[in-house]
C-alpha cells in the first residue's frame, strides 16, 4: 500500500480512505469520508475568522465565491449574536447631527 521500497511509486489513491475507515471504526464513531474532513476543515476555518481568500487558496478554489457558497455555514452562536431588538432600536433617542 505504501511506497517504502520504491520512492518512484506513488501512494495507492484509495489508501487515505482505507486508513480513515480503519481509524473511524477503531474510534467507534459514525462513518466518515475524506471529503467530509475537507468540508469540516473549510467550514471551521471560516467560522473562526480566517479570511475567505486564504481558505479558498488552501482548498484550491479558483475564487472565494466558490468557497463561500459551499463552506460558509452560519453557526448558531453567530446567528444569536446578530439579533436586533426592534423595540429597543425604535425607542432609543436619536443622536443629533
Tell me the domain boundaries of the chain: 1-32, 34-78
Query: pTM for the full model?
Result: 0.60
Cα–Cα distance list, 66 to 1, 33, 79, 80, 84 (Å): 34, 21, 22, 26, 29
CA atoms within 13 A on the CB side of 12: 9
Q: What is the pLDDT of residues 63-87, one digit of tens each?
A: 999 998 888 876 676 667 667 777 8
Confidence check: pLDDT of 3 > 60: no
Q: What is the pLDDT of residues 9-36, one digit of tens each?
A: 677 888 989 999 999 999 999 999 999 9
Cell of 58: 488552501
Q: Which residues contact 10 (CB under 8 A, 6 or more apart)?
A: 3
Amino acid at each position: 500500500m505504501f511506497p517504502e521500497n520504491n520512492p518512484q511509486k506513488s501512494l495507492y489513491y484509495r489508501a487515505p480512505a482505507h486508513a480513515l475507515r480503519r481509524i473511524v471504526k477503531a474510534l467507534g464513531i459514525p462513518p466518515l469520508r475524506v471529503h467530509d474532513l475537507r468540508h469540516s476543515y473549510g467550514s471551521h476555518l471560516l467560522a473562526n475568522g480566517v479570511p475567505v481568500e486564504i481558505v479558498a487558496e488552501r482548498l484550491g478554489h479558483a475564487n472565494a465565491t466558490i468557497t463561500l457558497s459551499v463552506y460558509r455555514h452560519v453557526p448558531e452562536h453567530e446567528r444569536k449574536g446578530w439579533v436586533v431588538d426592534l423595540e429597543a432600536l425604535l425607542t432609543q433617542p436619536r443622536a443629533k447631527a
